[in-house]
């Protein structure tokens, strides 16, 4: 997990109004390999092990299966499509890829400049550490301050709660891309305050004005 990402994380137990404090036990070239993220409000702590952050609210049992699957090389064409639909080529800022799109974090990191790329999916705990992007699991939502991310690509199979979370965390003039989108997705994004830019073939893009 990149050191700069820790400043954007919030307590999954207390909600987006409560930031976390990092205690890094092992830090290599601004990447936290081992450490703990603690909440000064509820006093809960969230481990970082092997560079992977477990930001799930209690109860925290074994990681449940995600949507990414086993480590593999990302599809270059799909990574380019996701990056183009998110519409951010350079930073500073943070982009979150949630569920299936997280498989393309490494490729998208190579297509962008000065952006923090974070993949959100339990399966990423088994993926190798790479300094160009960060890996976390989260529950019940996205552990980021509201209106702070430059873009979110989300797997629509996660359901409306996660679509609402993506809309919450995306900054003004930024986009939410939903892949595997259910038919109701465009309406969900509009109800969350986003303007629908495109909706076709299970892909929906919404933007915050």
CATH number of the domain where residue 157 is located = 3.40.50.150
22 shares its domain with 101: no
Instruction: Give the side-chain half-sphere CA count within 13 A for 10.
Output: 19
131 shares its domain with 181: yes
13 shares its domain with 84: no
180 shares its domain with 133: yes
pTM of the entire structure?
Answer: 0.96
Range of the domain at 49: 3-56
**8-36 residue pLDDT tens:** 999 999 999 999 999 999 999 899 999 99
For 95, the token pair is: 């982009």
**130-169 residue pLDDT tens:** 999 999 999 999 999 999 999 999 999 999 999 999 999 9
Dihedral angle sign, alpha carbons of residues 145, 147, 150, 151: positive
39 shares its domain with 84: no
Q: What are the φ and ψ backbone dihedral angles of 19, each rounded to 5 degrees?
A: -80, 170
DSSP state of 41: T
Q: For the chain, what is the domain count?
A: 2
């Amino acid at each position: 997990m990149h050191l700069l990402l820790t400043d954007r994380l919030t307590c999954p137990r207390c909600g987006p109004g409560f930031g976390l404090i990092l205690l890094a036990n092992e830090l290599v070239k601004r990447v936290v390999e081992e450490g703990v993220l603690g909440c000064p409000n509820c006093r809960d702590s969230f481990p970082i092990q092997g560079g992977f952050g477990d930001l799930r609210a209690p109860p925290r049992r074994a990681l449940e299966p995600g949507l990414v699957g086993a480590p593999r090389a990302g599809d270059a064409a799909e990574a380019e499509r996701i990056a183009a639909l998110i519409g951010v080529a350079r930073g500073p800022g943070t982009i979150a890829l949630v569920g299936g799109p997280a498989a393309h974090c490494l490729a998208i990191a190579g297509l962008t400049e000065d952006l923090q790329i974070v993949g959100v999916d339990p399966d990423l705990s088994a993926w190798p550490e790479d300094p160009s992007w960060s890996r976390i699991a989260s529950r019940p939502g996205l552990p980021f301050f509201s209106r702070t991310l430059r873009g979110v690509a989300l797997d629509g199979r996660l359901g409306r709660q996660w679509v609402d979370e993506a809309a919450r965390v995306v900054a003004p003039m930024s986009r939410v891309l939903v892949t595997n989108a259910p038919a109701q997705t465009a309406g969900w994004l509009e109800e969350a305050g986003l303007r629908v830019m495109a909706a076709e073939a299970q892909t929906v893009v919404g933007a915050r004005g």
